[in-house]
Amino acid sequence: MMIPDYGIGMNRRLDISTGNSRRVTRGGGRTSILIKKAVLETVAYRSTALPLNGLPEIAFLGRSNVGKSSLINQLLGRKKLAYTSSTPGKTRALYFYRVNDAFYFVDLPGYGYARASKEEQRAWAVLIENYLEKRNPLCGAVHIVDCRHRPTADDLLMARWLRFHRLATITVASKSDKLSRGALARQLPEIKASLELSATEELLPFSARTGAGKERLWSAILVLLKQHKRGEE
């Protein structure tokens, strides 16, 4: 099974069984983390360029322009660390942000960017798929969808792929500042249903503009990082 091809979804015909889920989305309790240090350490265009030090990693995934880089900046409290743009398709490589010398946030190229050539899309798909499937230090993913829209076919394919491969996943609905409270409350259950999330799997609303939802997202991320440590013992 393959993930979205970062363009037009060439693998949609494949049958994807849902498998058992290991999604972790329960935040619970107040958690805070002090970001002492956050630096862009590596920009990897190929899998041979990935860091080798074994620090745990959290990958940020979603459609082109959904707000991945903005979300990373908001989480880290750094306005311009991750490159953001109103032109979609800007993040073309795997960007490794090293946080507190303890873990990495990995900003992945967005899928569904129509203007990239098919060849480019395929190269990305191979890079990303290899990374998600084989990368040892990877302890979880943050899958981001736009709170304003029904998830796309690629969003669903990505959600199924993550579930099938049992990668612990936090699902986030981005740009929550663009909807009224009422509209957001109506939209979240619909998105959950479209992404086939179970009753216990949360969909966390988030705004990179206002920081709303930051605390819940951080606590869910810290759970993933802790679980990973335990897994290594």
Ligand X SMILES: Nc1nc2c(ncn2[C@@H]2O[C@H](COP(=O)(O)OP(=O)(O)OP(=O)(O)O)[C@@H](O)[C@H]2O)c(=O)[nH]1
For 64, the 3-state DSSP assignment is: coil
Any contact of residue 86 with ligand X (CB under 6 A)? yes
Q: Tell me: does residue 219 bind Mg ion (CB under 5 A).
A: no
**Nearest distance, CB of residue 12 and ligand X, angstroms:** 20
**Sequence-distant (≥ 6) Cβ neighbours of residue 123 within 8 angstroms:** none
69 touching Mg ion, by CB under 5 A: yes
Part in contact with ligand X (CB under 6 A); list of ranges 15-23, 24-32, 51-59, 63-71: 63-71
**Which window, 13-21, 60-68, 157-165, 216-224, contacts ligand X (CB under 6 A)?**
60-68
Of 229, 188, 197, nearest in space to 23 by CA:
197
Q: Write the interaction track for ligand X spanning residues 91-130; mark x where CB under 6 A is met and - where it is not.
A: x------------------x--------------------
Taking CB under 6 A as the rule, does residue 178 contact ligand X?
Answer: yes
Q: What angle do CA 205, 76, 112 make, to 5 degrees?
A: 55
Residue 17: burial class (beta carbons within 10 Å; 0-12, 13-18, 19+): exposed
By CB under 6 A, name the one of 9, 23, 70, 156 that touches ligand X: 70
Of 37, 40, 60, 167, the closest CA to residue 110 belongs to 60
DSSP, res 63: B
Tokens of 182: 């009422």
Q: Which is nearer to ligand X, 25 or 69 (CB)?
A: 69
Name the residues that contact Mg ion, by CB under 5 A.
68-69, 91
Name the residues that contact ligand X, by CB under 6 A.
62, 64-70, 84-86, 88-91, 110, 174-175, 177-178, 207-209
